[in-house]
Every structure is written in C-alpha cells, then in structure tokens.
Amino acid sequence: MQRRRGADLHRHWDVRTGLPRIAFRLATQGHALSRLNFIGAHAHTQYGELLANKFWLATDLIPFMLLGMALLKLGILGANAPPRTYALMLLIGYGIGIPLGLYELHLVEAGKFGPLAFAQANQTYQLSRLAMLTGHLGLALLIIRAGLFLGAQRVLAAVGQMALSNYVAQTIICTVLFFGFGFGLFSALQRHELFYVVGAIWAVELVWSPIWLKYYRFGPLEWAWRSLTYWQRQPFRQSQAKMAKVVLTHHHW
C-alpha cells in the first residue's frame, strides 16, 4: 500500500519543483507559448521596421539624394546660377516652409507631443522639409555668390569636408550622454535644454574641424573610406600630400 501510494505520488507530483505535474506542465506550456508570442511579436516588429526602412528609403533618402545630384548637375549647388534663381528659391522655400512648419508645431503642441499629433504633423512634413531645404539653399548660395562672411564659410566648409567623421562623433557623444551605459540623460532634459546639447556639439565641430584640416588632408573616417575606395593607403598629413604632389609632378616631367 505504501509503495502504491509512493508511485501515485510520483506520478502526480513533480519531485524537482514540488508542484503537481499538471500544474508544472501547464506552467511550462504557458512559458513556451509566451516565448513563442514574444518571438512572433519581435519578428512582427522587425518586419514592420524593415517595411518602414524601405518606405523611408523610397520616400526620403533616395529622392533627396537624386534631387541633390540634379541640382549639382544643373550647376545650382555650384553657385553658378544667376542670383535671381537663388532669391526665388529663398522666397518660395521660406514662403511655403515657414507657415507649414508653424502649422505642424501647432499640431504637435496642441496634441501634447503625443503620437497622434506627430502622425498628423507628418502628413505635411516632407513638403515643409523640402521647402525649408530650398529656402536654406537659396540663402546660403546667395551669401556665397555675394562673398559675404568668408571666415564663417571656411569654417563651415571644414565641417562639411569632415561630414562623416563629425556625424559619427556626434552619434558617439549623444549615445554616451543619453544611453544607460553613459550618463543616462534620456528623458531627463527639458526640450529647451536639448538645444544646449546641440549648440555644444556644433561648437566642438566648428572648432576642431578647421584645426584638424590644418594638419591633415581629410577627416579620419574620410581618409579611411578613401583608402578603402582606392584600395591603397592615401596621403593623410598635409606634408605627405605635398610630397606626393611633388613626386608626381617630377615623374610626369
């Protein structure tokens, strides 16, 4: 009788957990189902992100790249167009972009920066963005054509020559500032305080880019990318570039 009772106990109870076998089975099945649900949700999220990335490529990145290529081909980005072209770009761009931007800001503020408010504002975002880009280009190219603020132009040109290095640098800075392994400031700053962060990063890039290019031909990542492109180590220091130019000229003669 005692042996039979022990066999029944072993059959109905799990000796490892002390739980009834039916409860243990239901718990493990529930864990497996929840795990499958998690995997399914994760896959669904990744699929959604993949579709969103494709949509972003098709409606954002590629069109703006093609637009930039077209403007360069037409000579507009090279400041070769008549001044009235840039004045027209400025007037039309800002005339459309500023009112639309204020309208979008009103929607977002009225919706207390909620997801629905951003969704409503995004309906006109690409148009306002394109318009503001056109206005910025018109203003910048008018300044270049007029030869104004040459010192500022040189500094900004240096930042542009190191665009990849500066982009990665500001990404690293913001990651350290806002992620948990760094200072963890995500959601800790007010919206106006974020402008202080932006201004500080801009200041650093505006200072270090001209200094760097005084001694080196490229930014560090631009140099690495160029070397990989040509599959040959490129001259990095300014002195190396001058020496290579002298050697090339001598060889040509």
Which residues make Cβ contacts (< 8 Å) with residue 41, sequence separation at least 6? none
Provide the residue ranges of all domains of the chain, joining segments of one domain with +.
Answer: 63-148, 150-252
Residue 218 and residue 211 in contact, taking contact as beta carbons nearer than 8 Å: no
pLDDT along the chain (253 residues), means of 10: 48 48 45 45 48 63 86 89 94 96 94 90 91 94 92 93 94 92 89 93 95 94 94 86 52 51
Q: Which two tokens stand for residue 25?
A: 């089975």
Structure tokens at 28: 């493990």
- How many Å apart are CA 43 and CA 4, to the nearest integer? 49
Whether pTM > 0.95 for this model: the answer is no
**Residue 224 near residue 218, CB atoms below 8 Å:** no
For position 243, what pLDDT does the model report?
54
Q: Rounded mean pLDDT of the chain?
A: 80
Long-range pairs, 213-221, Cβ under 8 A, ≥24: 213/158, 213/161, 213/162, 214/238, 217/241, 218/161, 218/162, 219/161, 219/162, 219/163, 219/164, 219/165, 219/166, 220/165, 221/164, 221/165, 221/168
CA 113 to chain centre: 21
